[in-house]
Structure 1
Amino acid sequence: MDPQEALLEIARLLERERASRYRAKAFRAAAATYEALPDDARQDLGRIQQAKGIGASTFEVIRQALAGETPSYLVELRREVEPEIVSELRSRLRGDLHAHTEWSDGTTPIAAMADAARALGHEYLAITDHSPRLRVARGLTAERLRTQIPEVRALSGDGLTLLAGIEVDILEDGRLDQEDALLGELDVVVASVHSKLAMEPGPMTRRMIAAVSDPRVSVLGHVTGRLVQGERGTRPPSRFDARAVFEACAEHGVAVEINSRPERQDPPDELIAIALEAGCLFSIDSDAHAPGQLSLLDHGAQRAERAGVPAERIVTTWGLERLRRWAG
């Protein structure tokens, strides 16, 4: 098989299983190095091995691919990484409203996320890097976000529309962590709690209601902030009056995110039921931090289908024009 395709498939599989981001980045870097080699060097193992960005593991993948073999590491990953879950609802999803790039705490440029979204058949993808308060994730200042917006939109094409967005922090008093006028320039605003997740239920409820009452907000992201598995360990869900928060979401047309990351499984099933009863819209999102994680939508679709969420109430099943009218 083509060595570059083998390296990129390995990167995607590592990303899907949420393996070390450095391992996946190494395979993406090796793919870029191999692509940049002169044509006469791409069959020359000596020159390939000496190229900057090619390590022992990536060289072995290239060597085996050039020998006409399927690289053994790729065979292993295909066997070990859980395949995508096929469901009727997954086939109806037309896009994703929550994804990160190297502008904040993602691993790749915007273009790589766009390419992966096209490969999945997405009609649209919102780039929603973090806001300034989340410094550990290199949150975007207003100046950096203004720079990013035209770069995002310029990469639309070949059947994919990139939407300019943000995952904005919900501050302790319910305000949003970005300039209001700048939020108004965006196509999609995902509002999420990232700090003081153990706040008392009363203040947390008021905080979240204030945020979803802001006319700029499109989606309430990973609602409880819980972690149920994974290398970051576990974290209990935030406590708040879910019915009051979801009624506010329904009143203001804000979609409740069904976060597709297996380590989150957020909201819990019982909260999805409350949101359904409250009349909420939903958004099934990947919260991808790497191209291979965009495929995690299958997990969110499976949970939504199991919970009985009607497809017509999931905004990411809508076409682009209807989505724009709702988010705008």
Structure 2
Amino acid sequence: MPKPAATGPQRHGSASGEPIADTLTRDAAGVVLALRRISFLLERALESSYRIKAFRGAAATLGALGDEELAARASAGTLQDLPGIGKGSEAIAQAVLRGEEPDYLVQLEERESAPLARDGLDLAALQRGDLHSHSDWSDGGSPIDEMVMTAVELGREYQVLTDHSPRLKVANGLSPERLRTQLQVVAGVNRIVPDGFRLLSGIEVDILDDGSLDQEPDLLEELDVVVASVHSKLKMESAAMTRRMVAAVGNPRTNVLGHCTGRLVTGGRGRRPQSTFDARAVFEACAAHEVAIEINSRPERQDPPDDLVTLALELGCLFAIDTDAHAPGQLDFQQLGAERAWHLGVPAERIVTTWPRERLLEWAARR
């Protein structure tokens, strides 16, 4: 995994505190940094995935070149002969090699680098990790190492990789065999990440119609964190949905109840009403089993709704402020979840993502 470079949420958000322009070097590393920063800002703004994929692909292509070859191709005007390099990415590379900050990056910084949230920034700063994220092993847009580098750059102590489970074929859910292979990849990543950070193994496992979990029980026990979510039959009759969710929460392998209502309130996928269930019964089960209720930070979800967060708070539930990120830039969505939690009065000590890693792992393994 390459050494992390500054891609954080703000213009002055690099690990060393310098503006991004001051971290650009006139070589392949500087070009890659600029392209990654552009991708990050586009992702956190929920821009076109096609454009983002093009910039990240260009970063991979140019990053594979040596400094001498990159300079030679730039001088000869042959960068566009390389696969995935178009006018835009060539212009960015040429600017960096001249010692300039690319115009497109300057424009993005001005438009997109401000904090995503206005309130609750102190609570956002207390978040040590994120329990819900996806890679290109399922329906995420980037490889595991890119998600990890960005998590490190954002100052996380841990990031949980939670790709989907087998039944969610539309999201390329992981079979038991693929998940076992991924566990080996996670172990390999943890041998090279910086001190103070750890990639935790996990899954976003489907809650099946009867409340069972969509993965081999013994394999679930090998994971650090299990997020259980409903992805199908969201219009199930209320009593049946309640039984389904209570059963999943009662499963000793469940740590987090993900985006519990399944609603969509905005965005490109349109709107979707929330599922109906007896929230008091479900949240009482969460409190009894110490299962955290996810405050999903995605702008299009904002799940649970405010009234259900308030109910869960009254019932003594734990919470996890998660990004449900499907791209590196979306890891910054945690600000939005923290803002909602702050407005609703959720105390930091009840939010498991504020806990140190060892405490989190002890909680996750307790059952």
Fold equivalence (TM over 0.5)? yes
Which whole-Å CA distance do the structure 1 matches of 2:232 and 2:350 have between them? 29
Q: Cα offset for 1:222? A: 0.6
Q: Which of 59, 75, 99 is matched with 1:68 structurally?
A: 99
Q: Which 4+ runs in 1 deviate beyond 4 A? A: none
Q: Which of 14, 36, 42 is matched with 2:64 structurally?
A: 36
Q: Cα offset for 1:14? A: 1.1
8 A Cα contact 1:99 1:127, kept in partner: yes
Q: Cα offset for 1:38? A: 2.4
Q: Cα offset for 1:119? A: 0.4
1:222 alignment partner in structure 2: 259
1:48 alignment partner in structure 2: 79
Q: Cα offset for 1:171? A: 0.7
Which whole-Å CA distance do the structure 1 matches of 2:257 and 2:69 have between them? 50
Within-5 A mapping of 1:19-30? 19-30=47-58
Unaligned runs of 5+ in 1: none
8 A Cα contact 1:219 1:254, kept in partner: yes
Aligned with 1:162: secondary structure?
Answer: strand
8 A Cα contact 1:260 1:284, kept in partner: yes
1:6 alignment partner in structure 2: 34
Q: Cα offset for 1:91? A: 0.8
Computed over aligned residues only, the root mean square deviation of the Cα atoms, in angstroms, reads 1.2
Q: What is the percent sequence identity of the aligned residues? A: 59
Aligned with 2:254: secondary structure?
Answer: coil
Query: Is residue 2:54 matched to residue 1:17?
Result: no
Within-5 A mapping of 1:265-276? 265-276=302-313
Which whole-Å CA distance do the structure 1 matches of 2:61 and 2:82 have between them? 7
8 A Cα contact 1:130 1:137, kept in partner: yes
Q: Which of 276, 288, 297 is matched with 1:239 structurally?
A: 276
Q: Give CA deviations for 1:253-311 in whole Å, capped at 9, x if unaligned.
A: 10000001111111111110000011100000010111111111000011101110000
1:298 alignment partner in structure 2: 335
Which whole-Å CA distance do the structure 1 matches of 2:110 and 2:279 have between them? 40
Query: Is residue 2:156 matched to residue 1:122?
Result: yes
Q: Which of 351, 356, 359 is matched with 1:314 structurally?
A: 351
Q: Cα offset for 1:59? A: 1.3
Unaligned runs of 5+ in 2: 1-23, 25-29
Which whole-Å CA distance do the structure 2 matches of 1:48 and 1:256 have between them? 49
Q: Cα offset for 1:3? A: 2.1
Aligned with 1:83: secondary structure?
Answer: coil
1:164 alignment partner in structure 2: 201
Query: Is residue 2:287 matched to residue 1:250?
Result: yes
TM-score of the two chains, using structure 2 as the length reference: 0.87
Query: Is residue 2:245 matched to residue 1:211?
Result: no
Q: Which of 77, 83, 100 is matched with 2:108 structurally?
A: 77
Aligned with 1:43: secondary structure?
Answer: helix
Going from structure 1 to structure 2, the CA distance change for 1:3 and 1:82 (only over 3 Å counts) comes to closer
Query: Is residue 2:186 matched to residue 1:186?
Result: no
State the AA in 2 paired with 1:23.
R
Aligned with 2:78: secondary structure?
Answer: helix
Q: Cα offset for 1:82? A: 5.9
2:11 alignment partner in structure 1: none
Q: Cα offset for 1:317? A: 0.3
8 A Cα contact 1:169 1:192, kept in partner: yes
Q: Give CA deviations for 1:113-135 in whole Å, capped at 9, x if unaligned.
A: 11111101111111000000100
Which whole-Å CA distance do the structure 2 matches of 1:271 and 1:326 have between them? 23
Matched positions, count = 328
TM-score of the two chains, using structure 1 as the length reference: 0.97
Aligned with 1:295: secondary structure?
Answer: helix
Which whole-Å CA distance do the structure 2 matches of 1:138 and 1:218 have between them? 23
Which whole-Å CA distance do the structure 2 matches of 1:69 and 1:262 have between them? 34
8 A Cα contact 1:41 1:48, kept in partner: no
Query: Is residue 2:88 matched to residue 1:57?
Result: yes
Q: Which of 160, 164, 169 is matched with 1:135 structurally?
A: 169
Within-5 A mapping of 1:269-284? 269-284=306-321
8 A Cα contact 1:219 1:257, kept in partner: yes
State the AA in 2 paired with 1:88.
D
State the AA in 2 paired with 1:10.
I
Between 1:29-38 and 1:171-180, the stretch displaced more is 29-38
Between 1:75-84 and 1:312-321, the stretch displaced more is 75-84
Which whole-Å CA distance do the structure 2 matches of 1:119 and 1:91 have between them? 14
Between 1:52-61 and 1:113-122, the stretch displaced more is 52-61
State the AA in 2 paired with 1:194.
H
1:198 alignment partner in structure 2: 235
